[in-house]
Structure 1
Amino acid sequence: MEVKYNILVVDDEKDIRDVVEIYLINGGFNVITAEDGIEALEVLKNEKIDLIILDIMMPRLDGVRACMKIRETQQIPIIMLSAKTEDSDKILGLNIGADDYITKPFNPLELVARVNSQIRRTKVFTETNEKDEYSVGALTLNSETREVFVEGKFVRLTPREFDILEVLLINIGRVLSTEQIYERVWKEDFCNSDNTVAVHIRNIREKIEINPKDPKYIKLVWGVGYKIEK
């Protein structure tokens, strides 16, 4: 029997919630809705949620603060919605732990496609790996439990950050271009103008490196890409 994934749609505009819900249900998903971040956090206490669509501009608890709160305890994929189009807003969303970002007005079919991409990446990604654990130096990543440890201490990564680190560890010693990393993790064609990979790698370094400006693990090979050395 086909598994139906639970999607939490959080937006203070009822019309948007209703449209997104219709398209997601037609796409084969179960949908739960919330009007703001506080209501979303309550839903997460009682329901198993596989992905969150989270608007930024909301009363009581906005999407930025809600995302940060969710990331304190959970690694559920988050797609952020915003009427803002500036790169700084997109980077902010990624920096606080979002996995994707889409601006309003948006094509509901594109949103459903992005939901499908996130679900595939999260649920299928580790099934293609030949082993469960990868280590280099004091860094250890477990694909089965989706946990990362540095010097025995647990490091909390977003799902997207985890997958980027996993791709680099699977290909340890090999330089991967930004395009290769993007297409293997996002499962879609690379956009040359997109700095998303660099933003995520900077975030990973902040979490796993003693000195992010002089990284021990993720090395930049100028003009080529990134690698983790053996």
Structure 2
Amino acid sequence: KTQLRRYIRYNQTAPEPAPAAVYDCGGLYIDHESHTCTLYSKPLSLTPLEFEILWYLCSRKGHVVSSEELFEAVWGEKYLDSNNTVMAHIARLREKMGELPRKPKWIKTVWGVGYKIDE
């Protein structure tokens, strides 16, 4: 009984906080429940994959996300080498957001590492 009591007492983990349902990244507002995204109060028309990419990047705001991690999280498949799928989707997403290719404001490229959205 003592061992069981100690096991239960010392192996309890704190419940994980529920993920946010809404992200507001300084003008970029994304709501997962209603599946809507607005940029400076103008609605963005995104495909489900583009929405999930943006949601994943917003959920890790301030952290660099590699192409491999992004692909595996959004597509749910193993990443294959020389796969330009993520890069093409990021380019379309930037275009819809009206970002300049050389100076993106929202989705930044960290060369040789991945992508991030600044805080």
Specify the TM-score bucket, using the shorter chain as the normaliser.
0.7 to 0.9
- Compute the TM-score of the two structures, normalised by the length of structure 1: 0.43
Q: Superposition pairs for residues 1-230 of structure 1, below 5 Å?
A: 130-230=19-119
Deviation at 1:213, TM superposition (A): 3.1
Root mean square deviation, CA, Å:
1.1
Deviations 1:158-216 (CA, angstroms, capped at 9, x unpaired): 00000000000000000010000000001110011210000000000011134343111
Number of residue pairs aligned between Structure 1 and Structure 2:
102
Deviations 1:121-142 (CA, angstroms, capped at 9, x unpaired): xxxxxxxx61211011211100
Structure with a larger share of its residues in helix = 1
Query: In structure 2, what residue type is equivalent to 1:168?
Result: L
Q: Which of structures 1 and 2 has the larger relative contact order (alpha carbons within 8 angstroms, sep 6+)?
A: 2
- Where in structure 1 are there 5+ consecutive unaligned residues? 1-128
- Compute the TM-score of the two structures, normalised by the length of structure 2: 0.82
* Secondary structure, counterpart of 1:175 in structure 2: coil
Does the aligned pair in 2 maintain the 1:209–1:217 contact within 8 Å? no
Moved over 6 A (4+): none
Aligned identity (percent) is 42
Q: Which moved more, 1:215-224 or 1:204-213?
A: 204-213
* Secondary structure, counterpart of 1:174 in structure 2: coil
- Where in structure 2 are there 5+ consecutive unaligned residues? 1-17
